[in-house]
Amino acid sequence: MIKRAFACAAALVFAPAFAQQKSPFADYQRMTVEGSPVELFELGGEELWKKPQGPKSASLEKCDLGKGPGVLKGAYASLPRHFKDVDRVMDLEARLVHCMVTLQGRSREEITKSLFGSADRPSEMEYLSAYIAGQSRGVKMAPGGSHPKEKESYQLGKALFFHRTGSWDFSCASCHGEEGKRIRMSDLPVLSDPKAARPLIATWPAYRVSNSQFKTMQWRINDCYRQMRMPEPTFASDTTIALNMYLATTAKGAEYRGPGTKR
């Protein structure tokens, strides 16, 4: 009797996030996934990847995301990781900025001028993230973990996750620290727990219906800090990468499912 209850509970945890919602939302969730324009962002990203841009009139096709120049298969699933050429741990967006600067000769100011786009003001990062993440579909998530800087990044990310600060004394764990909780009608996954982290991290970046826009992990972290009543984290800074490292490491081993669709 108890064994079956446990198995049922386990099944619920492993089920995709939307299945845990009450029934009025299950249909809505199914319909949003069926009607998702995620593929359009992947196609748009492919165009941008191949498009010559910047003073060097170069495409991003020689960008090394960790598997070698231009190798996209499985690259997203292996991030964040340490990169020898800059001796720094980078997540996808940090590495894209690096490639845009070095391969295309563009400035960081220009690249980061229009971040977190809206439908009327699209941002390259989102399209590129969708395309590159899509190329890791079915690949086991395995961020870096053996290099000392990767370990450092993980430790900083973990400490950040539990760090209480800001006007409202929030840490990430304030909302993502206890099972079975929700804000309004949004279920809150316990992201420090691999069981909960895996299905979530396996489906970011994602199209977000409430924004009519594709959103990345850099955006997600930025928007969390906004709602935590904190000042703004700098795009692709070490603290944001550390948080991504912590989340990706907590979720490691799960199969990456590809860019998802969220509420």
Smallest separation, CB 87 to other proteins (Å): 18
Single out the residue of 17, 174, 194, 252 in contact with other proteins (rule: CB under 8 A): 174
Q: Within positions 213 to 232, which residues make up the interface with other proteins, using CB under 8 A?
A: 225-227, 229-232
Can residue 37 be called a binding residue for other proteins (CB under 8 A)?
yes
Count the residues of the shown chain that bind other proteins, applying the rule CB under 8 A.
51
Q: In sequence order, what are the beta bridge partners of 208?
A: 213, 262
Smallest separation, CB 234 to other proteins (Å): 5
Listed residue (235, 144, 112, 254) closest to 193, CA to CA: 254
Cis peptide before 148 (omega within 30 of 0): no
Query: Using CB under 8 A, which of the segments 31-39, 62-70, 82-90, 93-101 binds other proteins?
Result: 31-39
Assess whether 224 carries a catalytic annotation.
yes
The nearer residue to other proteins, 78 or 213, going by C-beta atoms, is 213
SS3 call for 260: strand
The nearer residue to other proteins, 114 or 212, going by C-beta atoms, is 212
Can residue 12 be called a binding residue for other proteins (CB under 8 A)?
no
Q: Within positions 231 to 250, which residues make up the interface with other proteins, using CB under 8 A?
A: 231-234, 237-240, 242
Residue 246 and residue 194 in contact, taking contact as beta carbons nearer than 8 Å = no
Q: Which two tokens stand for residue 162?
A: 């539990």
Q: Report CA 88 to chain centroid distance, whole Å.
A: 19
Query: How distant, in Å, are the alpha carbons of 83, 84, 111, 261 from that of 87?
Result: 6, 5, 22, 34
Our CA angle for 132, 135, 136, nearest 5°, is 105
Cis peptide before 205 (omega within 30 of 0): yes
Can residue 120 be called a binding residue for other proteins (CB under 8 A)?
yes
The nearer residue to other proteins, 35 or 55, going by C-beta atoms, is 35
The DSSP 8-state label assigned to residue 210 in this structure reads G
Q: Which two tokens stand for residue 261?
A: 């669709």
The nearer residue to other proteins, 113 or 184, going by C-beta atoms, is 184
The nearer residue to other proteins, 55 or 231, going by C-beta atoms, is 231
Single out the residue of 125, 160, 197, 202 in contact with other proteins (rule: CB under 8 A): 160
Single out the residue of 7, 107, 138, 155 in contact with other proteins (rule: CB under 8 A): 155
The nearer residue to other proteins, 107 or 227, going by C-beta atoms, is 227
DSSP string, 36-79: --HHHHHHHHHHHHHS-BTTTTB-STT-BSSSSBT--TTTGGG-
The DSSP 8-state label assigned to residue 139 in this structure reads P
Query: Using CB under 8 A, which of the segments 4-12, 55-63, 129-137, 169-177 binds other proteins?
Result: 169-177
Listed residue (36, 15, 37, 17) closest to 25, CA to CA: 17
Q: Which residues bind other proteins (CB under 8 A)?
A: 34-37, 39-40, 43-44, 47, 119-120, 155-156, 158-160, 162-171, 174-175, 178, 180-185, 188, 212, 225-227, 229-234, 237-240, 242
Catalytic residues: 224
